[in-house]
Amino acid sequence: MKQPRVVLLVLTLTLALAATAVTAVTTGFGRSGSPPVKGPQPEDLPVYQVATDFHLPDSPTWEEAKRRGHLVVGVKEDQPYLGEKDPASGRYSGFDIEIAKMMAASLGFGPTAVEFRTIASANRETALQNGQIDYYVGTYTINDNRKKQVGFAGPYFMAGQSLLVRKGEKDIEGPGDLAGKKVCSAAGSTPYQRLQKEFPKAVLVAYDTYSICVDNLLTYQVDAVSTDDPILLGYAAKVPEELKVVGAPFSEEPYGIGVPRGDTALRLALDDALAAHEKNGDWKKAYDATLGLSGNPAPQPPAIDRYPAN
């Protein structure tokens, strides 16, 4: 699909959205309408070697998945190049999705034995605690607070908080310009918490997802969207005529793979898997075919933090 048609579609969508009560919005920028523009091409994606004869008897999560016959992995569905669901085919794509598949392959589960489930930022800890998902890969920042509730393998990528504004915006060039401005972020996210704490003069608006924030930005309901730079760059890459990312990142957001807390065997197995896929080139190939499409060349992956059982 060509870019102008997509822009039109997005604009039509956003106009339609403007006509509905904002709180009742159920469709959004990334969730309905167009398939990914310049999206990951299936033929460019690596095929991961599925481990045979793999066993992890000390992991209750792995044992249960084996009994069930497939893994259930929590992800995002509205974050271009990271975790995005094609509404027509139901297929998920993006860098986080590739990381999830790499991990599955190392645990002995092929691509058809992975079921993806969309879980919003605010619901990740609960989903892991309730056993709704086996692990989570979706721009999930590792921090000490969250480590009290869940475990984290990784990190597998280093992001930083940034700002997305409309192309014509002149007043906002960094977080210091947010006083009195309406800024949207996702409930339960670290960027939202940082804005609240460090930029109290910004007028905060929270939704479940960033795509709803982007709809609000395009319809002039908010002045900026704030979250991690790779997420924002993805939205900007979709409609470069409408949106731009401004300023330098103002935090460090190391992305981890969330696992149920206490399942140390699973966490360390995923750390091993990650190290192996970084070493054999899968990580870089996956990055180039997905997140790399939003503009930045592949960085060095951050050092893996194999922390002791806590």
Strand ordering across the sheet containing 92-93: 78-79, 83-85, 92-93
Q: What is the DSSP string of 14-34?
A: HHHHHHS-GGG--S-TTTSSP
What is the distance between the alpha carbons of residues 100 and 227, in angstroms, rounded to a whole number? Answer: 22
183 within 8 A of 175, measured Cβ to Cβ: no
Q: Specify the residue, 14 or 190, whose C-beta has the smaller distance to ligand GLU.
A: 190
Q: What DSSP character marks residue 94?
A: S
Name the CA radius of gyration of the chain, rounded.
19
14 within 8 A of 215, measured Cβ to Cβ: yes
* Least distance between ligand GLU and beta carbon 241 (Å): 25
Q: Dmax of the chain from CA atoms?
A: 59
Amino acid residing at 273:
A
Question: Would you state the structure tokens that stand for residue 49, as one six-digit string?
Answer: 């070697």
Letters for 213-252 (x = contact with ligand GLU by CB under 6 A, - = none) are --------------xx------------------------
Letters for 21-40 (x = contact with ligand GLU by CB under 6 A, - = none) are --------------------
88: nearest Cα among 16, 15, 27, 36: 36
123 binds ligand GLU (CB under 6 A): no
* Least distance between ligand GLU and beta carbon 224 (Å): 15
254 binds ligand GLU (CB under 6 A): no
Task: Please choose, out of 62-70, 188-196, 216-224, 293-301, the segment that lies near ligand GLU by the rule CB under 6 A.
Answer: 188-196
What is the distance between the alpha carbons of residues 227 and 63, in angstroms, rounded to a whole number? Answer: 35
Q: Specify the residue, 150 or 289, whose C-beta has the smaller distance to ligand GLU.
A: 150
Letters for 74-113 (x = contact with ligand GLU by CB under 6 A, - = none) are ----------------------------------------
59 binds ligand GLU (CB under 6 A): no
User: Which of 71, 133, 153, 186 forms a contact with ligand GLU (CB under 6 A)?
Assistant: 186
**# of chain residues touching ligand GLU (CB under 6 A):** 12
290 binds ligand GLU (CB under 6 A): no
β-partners of residue 67 are none
139 binds ligand GLU (CB under 6 A): yes
Amino acid residing at 284:
K
Q: Specify the residue, 106 or 209, whose C-beta has the smaller distance to ligand GLU.
A: 209
End-to-end CA distance of the chain: 49
Task: Please choose, out of 13-21, 38-46, 139-147, 300-308, the segment that lies near ligand GLU by the rule CB under 6 A.
Answer: 139-147
Q: Which helix (H) or strand (E) holds 68?
A: helix 60-68
Contacts with ligand GLU, residue ranges (CB under 6 A): 121, 138-141, 186, 189-191, 227-228, 253
